[in-house]
Amino acid sequence: MTVEPSAPAPRTKRVIDVMTVVTLSITAVLTAWCGFEASKWGGEMSIAFSQASSARVQAASAESTAQAARQYDLTIYTEWILADRAGDADLQHFIEERFSDEFDIAFAAWQNGGRSEPGPFAMTEYSPPGAVEAVELTQRADERFETALVNNQRGDNYSLLTVLFALVLFFAALSQAQRLPWRRHAFLGLAIGLGVIGILLLVTFPVKI
């Protein structure tokens, strides 16, 4: 009795071969894409860190300017206090003419408020040159630093996804070396399963071109 060869077997093998080739091809492209995105987000991270450092340097410079202005105003105000205690109105007027514009505003507000505050420096109107800029630049530095950390994490996510797709390539290639059909199917199924997981993760990641 002659047993005819099973027809579906060669067809199944061809389907498996095609699935393997498609899996390898798609995964190779996705791996390259993840590497590209990891590089782009790494560049964005470096730019953000540089901007944060630049803003901190500018903030420090602005704060130094503000401190120098405070020191000048404090020195002039000290002389005004001494003249006030001595009852020398002419000297007081002479000193007041040398107040900085910022301190003059705070001094006027202090006087108009009946001198209820400890001094002009305690008034909200007092803002020496560079003080506002220092606060704004410090805030900008913090924001850029946080952005850099976010970009760094995005780059890491793409790098990890590259490793995942490398596993897909590994198992897909390993399936081709298996003689037993069930083992080949198992390795290919594992590769496809990991590939699907990788693609689902990939579509949730931000893209940088």
Domain ranges, ordered by start, for the chain: 28-202
| Residue 116: CB atoms within 10 Å | 7
Residue 46: pLDDT over 50: yes
Among 60, 83, 189, which residue's Cα sits nearest to residue 133? Answer: 60
| Residue in the block written with tokens 């002479």 | 94
Please measure the distance between the N-terminal and C-terminal CA atoms of the chain and give it in whole angstroms. Answer: 66
pLDDT value at position 9? 62
Give CA 145 to chain center in angstroms.
5
pTM of this prediction?
0.78
Give CA 75 to chain center in angstroms.
42
| Residue 123: CB atoms within 10 Å | 18
* 139-177 b/e (C-beta count within 10 Å ≥ 16 → b): ebbeebbebbeebbebbebbbebbebbeebbebbeebee
Give CA 121 to chain center in angstroms.
37
pLDDT value at position 146? 97
pLDDT value at position 1? 45
Query: CA-based Rg of the chain, rounded to a whole angstrom?
Result: 36
Cα–Cα distance for residue pair 147/47, rounded to 1 Å: 10
Residues 166 and 31 sit within 8 Å (Cβ to Cβ): yes
pLDDT digits (tens, 9 = 90+) for 90-132: 999 999 999 999 999 999 999 998 888 889 999 999 999 999 9
pLDDT digits (tens, 9 = 90+) for 2-33: 444 444 467 788 888 899 999 999 999 999 99
